[in-house]
Chain A
């Protein structure tokens, strides 16, 4: 370790930024291929995004992002090892090479994309901050809630967004902060606050935690943009491409109607678009450094984007989140992937 690197690190550490002096360049793709598995940094537990089932297997939409990459690279979605990470240590873990990719419900922001030595490979979930209120209040919109007591989790961007929103609408509010989501929801249930605010994907999970979930409703307002997506280190474009196109392949497959179930039939399809997605004609897997069937493997083993969504957070799960912004661009949402051709 040379002196320059130490001084860079010390300086960045002091100002609270964590930039890896020189993130390993171009090496991730080869290293992952050589070791034979993807080291995947996930949240220590977030409903629908990453949590373990009764057998201790990781499940969730973030987990599936890693499985899709493993399916594309190795033809086997199970070749993933997970590192549960805290919100605070997640970027260091990626920068230091402890994990290869970080799909950890991480909001894509200007600062994170530009100053941390990281790249966001795409958006696997468009989230936004919303409100949950008790049904008894009979409120239809957050704008009717001037003077309300709001339960929030401390130390998140949620707090700042809330302040912005109320100030912009010239309304008063009283913030009651809690440390964990369990505390927040218990306080809401006990009536210590009129509404609860969090990312919408989490509001649905919090609602299930109420003893009577139907007693609360999630208001339609979204007051912030929270595009969540997988993050990789800067400097290895091959790896970046693979992560990005693994997600795009899933979105394209949904658009083309290719599912986990019918993917084998679709191999015989005459539709040139489908044939290109499945690697039968036209484009070659070698552009990504993988075999031609890479997208087939993803869809066969992980499913298309819609299936992944429904299974983890949508109708197929306990959360029952509607597609909303995450519907395809031609179905009223904004999920849109460049074509495979």
Chain B
């Protein structure tokens, strides 16, 4: 009678190498230096976190409408809630803020389908968001037609202004940047090439703050009398030109990363220059540079706060202005924490979106 061979059950792995302990040993205490660093980090967290949480949440004051409500010694979020509408809408007339809300809602309604897998009309919707939506948004914001009360750009402020500056800067700078990058690569057109190089190097060589400052302080002196350019428009043009130079360089990086064979294959097929670029090169190049483009967008989003130098009050400007209200003196920490939080939400969302875009467009080109 044959005897089936039945191996003894495996011994369990050593207790110290599995489970929570194993993880700790592998990741936090793998050697003496790591152990020391871990202990140091724990010490830091233990000393910093409790007071921070205490200040931010536990001892904070949330309800009220004046500084008298802030008595418990923690953060005074009453300051933020009392002035929330000015942080969001700037000087927009209170009765008209529904227009800004409508823009936000419409924008979100347009964006959501873009994220849904399998939605069919993505291209159409995307084109709508880029080309038609800004007109719709501008009409709502500016008014003056369809019985809407006309507002002035000086009344635009707060987060609305921040988003306006950032979105116009991104949407207008991307096509301009791509054209500039292509121009810089056009070796057979020396005039175009040198103009693009000149443009890019000029705008990349000056700080944004200088651009804004010049547009606000010097430009009016050179304009003929009586001609005055809207301050916001000046800032927008400055930001767009500045941003396009950066985008151009990022896109150029993508163009250079495409193997020469792709260009030659397109030429061999007899495609014209624009078809070659539009169908073969750019789709691949742009896909590679998504992280770079989003990176410059995030940088731009944060750079928009510099418009305070020309007296445009974006969300940070409105917060700083509120800090000078005699009734709210001394709550600068709360104001800046709030602003940082707002910026973090937007920048983090952008970065997550770019990552999901990368995953979706991933066709095995990544290493």
Report B-chain residues with C-beta under 8 Å of the C-beta of A312: 326
Report A-chain residues with C-beta under 8 Å of the C-beta of B257: none
Residue B210 lies at the interface, judged by CB distance under 8 Å to chain A: no
B interface secondary structure, majority? helix
Cα A34 to Cα B323 with chains together (Å): 36
Residue B324 lies at the interface, judged by CB distance under 8 Å to chain A: yes
The distance from the CB of B79 to the nearest CB of chain A, in whole angstroms, is 10
Report B-chain residues with C-beta under 8 Å of the C-beta of A59: 325
Report A-chain residues with C-beta under 8 Å of the C-beta of B224: 1
B324 touches which of A46, A55, A85 (Cβ 8 Å): A46
Cα A54 to Cα B308 with chains together (Å): 20
Q: B291-335 interface mask toward A, CB cutoff 8 Å, 1 = contact, 0 = none?
A: 000000000000000001111110001101111111101101000
Contact A9 B325 (CB under 8 A): no
Residue A115 lies at the interface, judged by CB distance under 8 Å to chain B: no
Contact A209 B221 (CB under 8 A): no
Cα A45 to Cα B222 with chains together (Å): 28
Cα A175 to Cα B92 with chains together (Å): 42
Contact B311 A84 (CB under 8 A): yes
A interface secondary structure, majority? loop
Contact A209 B329 (CB under 8 A): yes
Contact A20 B221 (CB under 8 A): yes
Cα A89 to Cα B307 with chains together (Å): 12
Q: A12-53 interface mask toward B, CB cutoff 8 Å, 1 = contact, 0 = none?
A: 010000101110100000000000000000001111100111
- Point out which of A1, A86, A319 has the most chain B C-beta atoms below 10 A from its C-beta: A86
Residue A92 lies at the interface, judged by CB distance under 8 Å to chain B: yes
* Interface size of A in residues (CB-CB distance below 8 Å): 46
Interface residues on B, range: 35 or more
Cα A82 to Cα B326 with chains together (Å): 19
Nearest CB to that of B222 among chain A residues? A9
Contact A44 B311 (CB under 8 A): yes
Report A-chain residues with C-beta under 8 Å of the C-beta of B94: 55-56
Residue A6 lies at the interface, judged by CB distance under 8 Å to chain B: yes
Cα A182 to Cα B326 with chains together (Å): 14
Residue B362 lies at the interface, judged by CB distance under 8 Å to chain A: no
Cα A44 to Cα B91 with chains together (Å): 13
Q: Which stretch (B120-128, B211-219, B276-284) binds chain A? A: B211-219
Report A-chain residues with C-beta under 8 Å of the C-beta of B308: 44, 86
B323 touches which of A20, A45, A318, A319 (Cβ 8 Å): A45
Report A-chain residues with C-beta under 8 Å of the C-beta of B312: 84
Residue A205 lies at the interface, judged by CB distance under 8 Å to chain B: yes
Number of CB contacts from chain A to chain B under 8 A:
124
Report B-chain residues with C-beta under 8 Å of the C-beta of A208: 326, 329-330
Cα A6 to Cα B222 with chains together (Å): 7
Nearest CB to that of A2 among chain B residues? B224
- Point out which of A21, A22, A56, A97 has the most chain B C-beta atoms below 10 A from its C-beta: A56
The distance from the CB of A69 to the nearest CB of chain B, in whole angstroms, is 18
- Point out which of A45, A46, A92, A317 has the most chain B C-beta atoms below 10 A from its C-beta: A45
Residue A281 lies at the interface, judged by CB distance under 8 Å to chain B: no
Report B-chain residues with C-beta under 8 Å of the C-beta of A81: 152, 154
Residue A267 lies at the interface, judged by CB distance under 8 Å to chain B: no
Contact A56 B85 (CB under 8 A): yes
The distance from the CB of B334 to the nearest CB of chain A, in whole angstroms, is 12
Report B-chain residues with C-beta under 8 Å of the C-beta of A92: 216-218, 220-221
Residue B83 lies at the interface, judged by CB distance under 8 Å to chain A: yes
Which residues of B line the A interface, CB within 8 A?
A: 65, 82-83, 85-86, 89-91, 94, 152, 154, 213, 216-218, 220-226, 228, 231, 308-313, 317-318, 320-327, 329-330, 332
Which residues of A line the B interface, CB within 8 A?
A: 1, 6, 9, 13, 18, 20-22, 24, 44-48, 51-56, 59, 81-86, 88-89, 92-93, 95-98, 182, 205, 208-211, 312-313, 317-319
